[in-house]
Structure 1
Amino acid sequence: MRSMRAVPVAVFLLLLCLVFALVGATLQLGTRVLALFALHPAADGVVAWLAALLLIQLYALLVHRLALAALPLRPGVIAAGSRHEAIYQVYVLFYLILFNTVLRGGWLPIPLLRLVYLALGAQLGANTWSAGLICDPTFVRIGANCIMGEGSLLVPHQIEGRQLAHFPIVIGDGVTVGAHVVLLPGVTIGNGAMVAANSVVTKGVHIGAGEIWGGNPARLLARRAHSATPGQPPNKFPVVA
């Protein structure tokens, strides 16, 4: 595990100050609007607090995405002391201080959670939902008509001692990832595949189209009789001898 450097921390604090400045300016404008409705002072205070909490997350998302657009976080190994490491540390501070509260809280409805992941840079196809946790959404691409089961965990980052890297997780169309499945960095899953509940798919594993995997570590259990059409998987699953 690497220590945080002073410059990335300072940059993050400056960006955080910008977030709070935007929130303050928006609340000032909102206070003038609320005054027109002559709300009770207590209700006025509750509305202000709720608005502040929401605005902090919204402006943090905006500032975070603008920062990543200006200084992109690249896949691959991150060298110690490099410019890339400094960008990563600013990036991870946003998650540690702000975003993990939303992503890990378990209180956000799944349709809204999808919107948050999209806002954070995940590529999610139509009718794709996650009831689990997607770490580093900017390194995750999932096709259409997929489901990530309850408590599933997608982890594109690799932290082993002082070694740090990101390897994208890519999932095709019509894929089912069961409850409490862990997908590690560099995993790719083909169209119509399935991963059984409580499985761990290790780093860099490729699951082919229509395959069924399970276990810890996950291995091939079966293949579907026919290639799965996105959104309409076949109903026969003969076991491979």
Structure 2
Amino acid sequence: MRKIRPSAIVVFLSMLALVLLLAVLSAWCGVGNIPGLGDFRGVAVTAAAVVLVYLYGMLVFRIFMWALPLHDGNIEFGSRQEFIYQVYVLFYLILFNSLIRGGIIPIPIMRLIYLGLGARLGANTYSSGIIYDPSFVTMGANSVVGETALLVPHVIEGDTLGHYFITIGDHVTIGAHAVVLSGVTIGDNAIVAANSLVAKGTRIGSGEIWGGSPARRLK
């Protein structure tokens, strides 16, 4: 695990301060001016501010990633990509992991959150598991990720650090508690059995059924 640079911390904290300021001002000027709230005004303003922190956070995060995109592949030590990654990971550590890993947000709303964080999800595709690094995940239509399954596009192995796209087709089922690692491609109509571990860079063909740890083709 690499140490986060002070410059990345300063940049992130500056954007976080902007997010907090926008959220508080918007909540106070919007919800705070609604007549008839009475004793609930403080509660309503606080609740609105919390929601707006995440909404503004996603907006500022997406603008940052648009201006300074994080590319697929290894991240070299001391590079510009490493700086971008460190700001990127601070957003997740401080803001977004509480949404992704909380387990209390309804699945349809989680779909919207993943889309807001950059995932590419086809129509009628949902995840009741956890999608890490959503901007490195593409899923087709009518696919499902089972309960507590993990999609993990990043690689952290000693000093090796990077991201590799996970690409999943249409009508794919990822079973409960399965783990899909970086660089995996899964074709249309494929199934990954529950509790399976799909190793880095695995290619699962259309209509295939894989299972086990590490996963192998069963049918």
Q: Distance in 2 between matches of 1:152 and 1:24?
A: 35
Indicate which of 151, 156, 159 corresponds to 2:153.
156
| Per-residue Cα deviation, 1:10-58 (whole angstroms, up to 9, x for no partner) | 0000000110111122123125522xx13222x1111011111101100
Q: Secondary structure at the match of 2:218?
A: strand
> Residue 5 in 1 paired to residue 2 in 2?
no
Tell whether 2:114 aligns with 1:111: no
Residue among 33, 42, 46 paired with 1:45: 42
Q: Which residue of 1 aligns with 2:15?
A: 15
1:218 counterpart residue number: 215
Please tell me the residue identity of whatever aligns with 1:150.
E
- Find the counterpart in structure 1 of residue 197 from structure 2: 200
Contact kept? 2:192, 2:210, Cα under 8 Å? yes
Q: CA offsets, 1:126-150, max 9 Å, x none?
A: 0101000000000000000101000
Number of residues of Structure 1 aligned to a counterpart in Structure 2? 219
- Partner secondary structure for residue 65 of structure 1: helix
Deviating 4+ runs (over 6 angstroms): none
CA gap 1:98/1:32 in 2 versus in 1, 3 angstroms: closer
Identify the residue that residue 28 of structure 2 maps to in structure 1.
Answer: 28
Give the conservation status (yes or no) of the 8 Å contact 2:139–2:167: yes
Unaligned segments of structure 2, at least 5 residues: none
Q: Which amino acid aligns with 1:199?
A: S
Q: Distance in 2 between matches of 1:208 and 1:32?
A: 55
Shift in alpha-carbon separation, 1:112–1:31, aligned structure 2, 3 A: closer
Alignment map for 1:58-69 (pairs within 5 Å)? 58-69=55-66
Query: Does the Cα contact within 8 Å between 2:23 and 2:50 map onto a contact in 1?
Result: no
Cα 1:81–1:220 shift into 2, 3 Å? same
Instruction: Give structure 1 stretches of 5+ with no counterpart.
Output: 223-241
3-state SS of the aligned residue for 1:90?
Answer: helix
TM-score w.r.t. length of structure 1 = 0.89
For 1:206, the aligned partner's letter is: R
Q: Counterpart of 2:124?
A: 127
